[in-house]
Amino acid sequence: MSAQGQGDPGEDLTSRAESETSCNDMKRAAAKKLIECYFYQLTDGCGNRDCGNQYCASSGKLTNLTADEAAAQAISLFSKDARLCDGVHPTKVARTTMEPGPASLAKSLPNKNVNPTCSVEGKSVPYLTETKLLDIISKCKSEGSYCLLIRTLGEVFSSAQALSQSFLKSEKDDSPLTVLLDRAPASLLCPSGDLSKEAVRSLQGEDKEEDSSDPTPTVPQIDDTNVDLPAVRRTFAALWSLPGEAFESALVHALVTLADNIELNLRVFSGNSEDSTDSLLNVFLIVFEIPVLGSSEYLEMALHMLCKAASCLPISDQAKLACIWARHCKTRLPSLLQSLQQLITVKVIGGTFTRDYCVQDTDTITATTKVMKIVYFASILAGELDSPELALDEDNESNNTEKSNQRASTIAQDPLAVELAISSVDARKPLIPFIDFYNEPLSDIVEMDKDFAYYKSEQPKKFSFMNYAFILTPATKTLGLYYDNRIRMYSERRVSFLQAVVGQPTTPYLRLKVRRDHLIEDALIELEVVAMENPYDLKKQLVVEFQGEQGVDEGGVSKEFFQLVVQEIFNPDFAMFTTQEDTQTTWFNPTSFESDAQFTLIGVVLGLAIYNNVILDVRFPMVVYRKLLGRKGSFPDLEDWSPTLYRTLLEMLEYTGDDMQDMFMQTFRVGYKDVFGSYLFHELKENGDEIYVTQENKKEFVDLYADFLLNKSVERQFKAFRRGFQMVTDESPLALLFRPEEIEQLVCGSKIFDFAELEASTEYEGGYTSESDTVRNFWQVAHSLTPEYQRRLLQFTTGSDRVPVGGLSRLKMVIARHGPDSDRLPIAHTCFNVLLLPDYSTIDKLQDRLLKAINYSKGFGIL
């Protein structure tokens, strides 16, 4: 029996629910089987010429019935519990075994041998169907021996050929009877196992309503499956209602053999045979439906072997598998993901990794990650997807486009995403939340410097988690971006050195010399010159100098520079941006008088902040980050952009009354205010002021209104802003690693402000320890401060009041002893997050000196 948690009432309830589900599924299968018996009795008869049953074709009392009439009458006979002749067989074999033409019923019946077989290329191959396995289970129960079940599972589940021929949809799947039977939901079964009256009416076609909310139409129709997945699930539910020791050991060993053979076949033959890989899809669809893959025995022996085999599938087949999972396995995907996460976590925690043998070299972990990618894209496909029409048009300027395309080609694209023609930014709401794909133990152990080297390597191609970024936490991915940025900076520095050697000296840094009282003017002028003369200089390390101040920029001066720039340039009084009233977020001013160059330079500033690992106090709505990654804003983005407007438009969409025109009095003409408060109007379509919003055109109005607010009204400003942002980040793996919400964290930092994390990660030097009286007094004062003063303390010590991605534990602050008790104020080296703290004699004196240092800490002097 698989190892299961004990003593957990939640697990008991889950087990009870699964048992009830299994029981209902078995009852439904039995009911369908009985109805099929009536159907074949009506159409083919029992074979007895002297039959006296008026509902049997052999009696001669029935006129010729059409298939539809026979199906309806079979349901009616079942509900009446009418007489059923002996010798009527309810099921036919799979479509692959049917003979063409009007085959006789005798030929279509399953073989009664222990292990029925089908003929494939002249050889006898064992296969299974739901009915056959249920019959075997029933026989084993009656005999009190499970040898037959063990032998059958071993034969079928150890052979890819046998398993690929199992649980196929039968030929009658498209018949009127099957269509009627499949229409009845399992919830309509009576406790007795009979169909309720509601179920009968449903089967007879009175309840034909389908779920129109199902988002599956968005799934690309790459391929479908001929595996009867509901039958597979019912069969497994019946199988696991038995004692585990009766068959599980044999099944595990069969799966190991199966996976080993598949992996060998795929590696040797490289999936050259289309037929073979298509049949393997059937195999993987079946085995990944096993409900206990996450339990100990399967986890240790079978699951990692299955993942290694599945990871060898060609990209086209992985795409097919993702589409089938998205279309038919929505309820199964979360538990499958949980099993994969569990396997990776177990291997990470139990593994011994060194610089020579790192986590990227472990086949079990890398193969499972590859399978998780298939689940990841299946989750995206099964969720809510944006329309392809929302892709932003690229710049029409030929030079910029050519350079952009040339640089973009250096960034590797995910082959599975290319095959499916989607990306994570297309996902409006995935089936499984993105954060469920993070694996924190793995993220903590991955050495990103080595992973980045693997990412950049060409031959031989090494496995890199940067190509599977969905599994890494944002904090770990930030390290990957950091290494990319630093290497690019060092590369520019090396080029400058070589140019100096040949007599063409250039500065190895991007130097900005600015005056505090003319900060924006000086910064934008210098950046404009750089952007025009040599945009590649933007990729050099930024060094800022405040005129008249003697601070040396090792990172701290740059942090203050960015903060001051953001405070001024995003101030509504500057008129380039506005503040949304109900969200206090920053948005582009659609009536701004500033030139495109100004917005381009703002984009450069934002890109430089990311490139130089500086966090900004910027409050953009999420739609800005989606647009930076190449997607237009649409109606769902209004929920974050303006919740009040979103609710109003949603109320309009949900309104069903006939008096819509009188209720809303809205035309296709909308109004907005300019920077001076004047009211301006815009017609969403020609003669919009004469066109009222009605039930027929309300969706068009909402889409056009959202498009105007989020795209067209600020098209000029945002286009320039994005162009500046791409000048700095175009060669960066930013889009490969991060989704829009993660880029927001990268720009603005984490929203979790926890000083306990900072205390736990702080180190001590100069004679201080965590037990020193002054250190204890410092943390007592720090924790007692208001959130506002805590942010000021953070800014005084580190140069920024923002929390880095991953929390304050990522700061690694250092508190060093700065001499004995004195009247001196604490001093901070913001470039290195070092706080020099005298050994104050009392807590009151420490608090007084610390607050003074915080309140008067502006500018840089000689330290």
Q: Are residues 479 and 525 in the same domain?
A: no
Query: Whole-prediction pTM value?
Result: 0.75
pLDDT tens digits, 677-707: 778 889 999 988 999 999 999 999 999 999 9
Instruction: Examine residue 438 and state whether it is found in any structural domain, yes or no.
Output: yes
Is the domain of 575 the same as that of 592? yes
Give the model's confidence band at 393: pLDDT under 50 very low, under 70 low, under 90 confident, else very high.
low
What whole-number distance in Å separates Cα of residue 305 and Cα of residue 258? Answer: 9
Which CATH number covers residue 652?
A: 3.30.2160.10
Average pLDDT over residues 136-159: 90
Q: Is the pLDDT of residue 448 over 80?
A: yes
Task: Please report whether residue 290 resides in a domain.
Answer: no
* C-alpha distances in Å from residue 665, one per residue of 647, 691, 699, 703, 706: 17, 10, 16, 18, 18
**Would you say the C-alpha torsion 760, 766, 771, 777 has a positive or negative sign?**
negative
Q: Are residues 617 and 730 in the same domain?
A: yes
Same domain, 744 and 779: no
If asked whether residues 522 and 559 sit together in one domain, one would say yes
Structural domain count of the chain:
4
User: Are 817 and 850 in the same domain?
Assistant: yes
Burial of 517 (0-12, 13-18, 19+ CB in 10 A): exposed
With bands split at pLDDT 50, 70 and 90, how would you rate the model's confidence at 516? confident
Residues 597 and 739 in one domain: yes
Can you give the C-alpha Rg of the chain in angstroms? 34
Range of the domain at 457: 339-387+413-485
Q: Rounded to the nearest 5 degrees, what angle is found at the Cα of 413, between the Cα atoms of 407 and 419? A: 140
User: In whole angstroms, how far apart are CA 397 and each of 401, 403, 595, 715, 726?
Assistant: 6, 10, 17, 15, 14
Note if 56 is an active site residue: no
For residue 170, what is the DSSP state?
A: B
Q: Write out the two tokens for 729.
A: 């980040």
3-state helix, strand, coil split of the chain in percent (to 5) is 55, 10, 35
> Would 372 be classed as within a structural domain?
yes
pLDDT tens digit string along 538-551? Answer: 888 888 888 877 66
Residue 490, in any domain of the structure? no
pLDDT tops 60 at residue 760: yes
Whether residue 724 sits in one domain with residue 677: no
User: Looking at residue 247, what is its pLDDT?
Assistant: 84
Predicted confidence at residue 564, as pLDDT, reads 84
Q: Is 200 helix (H, G, I), strand (E, B) or coil?
A: helix
Q: Say if residue 95's pLDDT is above 60.
A: no
Share above pLDDT 90 across residues of the chain, in percent, rounded to a whole number: 35
- Return the amino acid letter for 472: L
Q: Which of 37, 140, 312, 831 is catalytic?
A: 831
Q: Is there a domain that residue 314 lies in?
A: no
Q: What's the pLDDT band for 26 if we cut at 50, 70, 90?
A: low
Percent of the chain with pLDDT over 70: 79
pLDDT confidence tier of residue 27, bands split at 50, 70 and 90 = low
> Which of 382, 379, 384, 377 has its CA nearest to residue 429?
384
Residues 792, 815 within the same domain: yes
Which residues in 139-185 belong to E strands, given as ranges? none
Q: Do the strands 814-817 and 827-829 form a parallel or antiparallel pair, or are they unpaired?
A: unpaired
Instruction: Answer yes or no: do 593 and 738 share one domain.
Output: yes
Q: Is the pLDDT of residue 335 over 80?
A: yes
Residue 764 has phi, psi (to 5 degrees) of -130, 140
Are residue 608 and residue 725 in the same domain, yes or no?
A: yes
Please determine, for residue 175, whether its predicted confidence score (pLDDT) is greater than 60. Answer: no
